[in-house]
Structure 1
Amino acid sequence: MKIKLIRHATTILQFGGKKILIDPMLSPARAMAPVDYSPNRQNNPLVELPVTIEEFFDVDGVLLTHTHRDHFDDEAARLLPKEIPVFCQLDDKQKLNDLGFAQVYPIREKINWEGLKITRTSGQHGSGDLAKKMGPVSGYILSAPEEPTLYFAGDTIWCTEVDVALDKHQPNISVLYGGAAQFLEGGPITMTSEDVIRVCRKIPEMNVVVVHLEAFNHCVETRDAIKRALNDQGLSNSVWVPENGELLSF
């Protein structure tokens, strides 16, 4: 299994004989307006793609945790081939159909795709009323013969849903969306370093990868801050915080 972080939540996963593009945000740097009511006013994305656009066409399918613009932007909708299989949460099916994608597979619970099983999990994109305003988000458990069990948590904080997913599926590897994304009011809407540490403590033998960092203006926690927090807790050997363009093999 190989995971290549492109930028933010955009990754390319090689798993079960498939190459899967996850949460594609393909706009050039500074092409999108900043997130409103957030701690800084820089245009998004904050950094350029570390690869050429052509790399995104050499994939077998697309997996979306949700369709907020930092996970599926207008550029991805424009550039990706409309015949490519797209797997998503049920709430996003109509939007993708309206954009012209011909093979959209909403996952209510789980789906089998040519030997690869994808199971949807839930999360909370923030707390209280803020989470309701942010709308539904999903994570996914991926499993295939001779592969480790993999958990993409999606845009969620530590919550009961994450705790339940870890208990039920016992993943070998978890990919967490960090950055402590937030607005001027309300708490974080993605994982903080403290949330990452709670995930690590839940399954001590699990490997963890933290993405969703330093690429969108409402993400305030840096790679260095997360690494320091992990080091303080003695967790550096089981957690990876990759740079953009970095390939991890497990």
Structure 2
Amino acid sequence: MTRFANPDPRHRPNDFRAIWRWGVTDRLSGRRRVSPPGPPAPRVEPDLDLVHERSGRPRLTWIGHASFLGAMGGRSFLVDPVFGRRVGWVYRRHGLPGLSPHQLPELSVVLVTHNHYDHLERDAVRNLAPEIPVVVPAGLGRRVERWSLRPVVELEWWQTIEIDGLHITLVPARHWSRRRIFDTNRSLWGGFVVEGGDQRVYFAGDTAWFDGFSEIGRRFPGLLAAVLPIGGYSPAWFMENHHLNAAQAGQAFTLTGARYLVPMHWGAFQLTDEPLAEPIRRLEKWWRRQGPRDGREMILQAVGETVVLETGEAAR
């Protein structure tokens, strides 16, 4: 079977020695300290009238972590659906998801950026209406098909498909994939650019820093929003090949040229050593010091909150 590789030739996956140091020796020696989780991301009750609105207004509802309900061109779609109390049987959810599955509107498509448990939940896919197609990176389709008899489309980087008026492109990311012990990088990973009407939104999925942010902005000029991960970075020496930190997410946003920065991948699951809310505090600090001064904005969204992207105003 094919093993996929990262677009950045500088990428060096953590070897056994690094994993042993991170998981064992640094813990025993006290060099690695896992912070108490602290408070999760704030949550509000969803505005279900706005969630189910069929207008063409582009909207994002944060379900939590990396899960979003999007609406563009009068069509609704789900990104990286996870609703459960735990991911990977280990990491518990702090707080409640912003929406439950029965509160979702009629969906045109589900998008999955990669196969990690905090981005792809079997029950979330299995329990959706069987006619809803799922778009996944190359190599992941067979697994999703086994879970439910539904249409599944695989994409390579830069491939585009049109579904129900939405143009969906898989774009590169610097990350990796694994669902089981022996399937490392047997399926691809990436982000998505979703185009509906004359609007475009970039969902980065999981990614570390790489040179592709400028290329994504060049190929998709006029991005309305960039939905970027900001958490999962501590300890830095171990996590820098996996995830952006908050400052890097801000820099990536600048390179994409998007109008709005929507931070995610924080506040629900303590996957790494930093407290749940530290990433957003660091991003706010970066924004005050180095954020763009050209009218572009950062949207601080609560779990369950729907943001109308045309105005950047939060509607609760």
The TM tier, using the shorter chain, reads 0.7 to 0.9
Tell me the C-alpha RMSD between the 2 structures: 2.5
Any conservation in 2 of the 1:156–1:191 contact (CA below 8 Å)?
yes
**Residues 178-193 of structure 1 aligned to structure 2 (within 5 Å):** 178-181=230-233, 186-188=238-240, 189-193=242-246
Any conservation in 1 of the 2:109–2:163 contact (CA below 8 Å)?
no
Q: 1:47 to 1:226 in 2, by over 3 A?
A: same
Instruction: State the Cα distance separating 1:177 from its structure 2 match.
Output: 1.8
Task: Tell me what 2:200 maps to.
Answer: 149
Q: Give the Cα–Cα distance (whole angstroms) in 1 for the partners of residues 60 and 172 of structure 2.
A: 22
1:22 counterpart = 2:79:
yes
1:52 counterpart = 2:52:
no
1:118 counterpart = 2:168:
yes
Which consecutive unaligned segments of at least 5 residues does structure 1 have?
A: 35-42, 127-131
Task: Tell me what 1:86 maps to.
Answer: 134
Which consecutive unaligned segments of at least 5 residues does structure 2 have?
A: 1-57, 177-182, 310-316
Q: Give the Cα–Cα distance (whole angstroms) in 2 for the partners of residues 31 and 110 of structure 1.
A: 30
Any conservation in 2 of the 1:57–1:80 contact (CA below 8 Å)?
no
Q: Give the Cα–Cα distance (whole angstroms) in 1 for the partners of residues 161 and 258 of structure 2.
A: 27
Task: Find the partner of 1:242 among 290, 301, 309.
Answer: 301
SS state of the match for residue 251, structure 2? helix
Q: Give the Cα–Cα distance (whole angstroms) in 2 for the partners of residues 205 and 161 of structure 1.
A: 14
Q: Give the Cα–Cα distance (whole angstroms) in 2 for the partners of residues 205 and 247 of structure 1.
A: 19
Q: 1:225 to 1:185 in 2, by over 3 A?
A: closer
Any conservation in 1 of the 2:230–2:279 contact (CA below 8 Å)?
no
Q: Give the Cα–Cα distance (whole angstroms) in 1 for the partners of residues 134 and 151 of structure 2.
A: 6
Q: 1:23 to 1:101 in 2, by over 3 A?
A: farther
Any conservation in 2 of the 1:57–1:81 contact (CA below 8 Å)?
no
Letter in 2 for 1:99: W
SS state of the match for residue 102, structure 2? helix
Q: Give the Cα–Cα distance (whole angstroms) in 1 for the partners of residues 153 and 95 of structure 2.
A: 31
The worse-fitting range, judged by mean Cα deviation, of 94-103 and 197-206 is 197-206
Q: 1:101 to 1:67 in 2, by over 3 A?
A: farther
Q: TM-score, normalised by structure 2?
A: 0.67
Q: TM-score, normalised by structure 1?
A: 0.83
**Residues 61-140 of structure 1 aligned to structure 2 (within 5 Å):** 61-108=109-156, 109-125=159-175, 136-140=188-192
Task: Find the partner of 1:11 among 68, 92, 105.
Answer: 68
Q: Give the Cα–Cα distance (whole angstroms) in 2 for the partners of residues 52 and 15 of structure 1.
A: 21
Identical aligned pairs, as a percentage? Answer: 21
Q: 1:181 to 1:45 in 2, by over 3 A?
A: farther
Larger Rg: 2
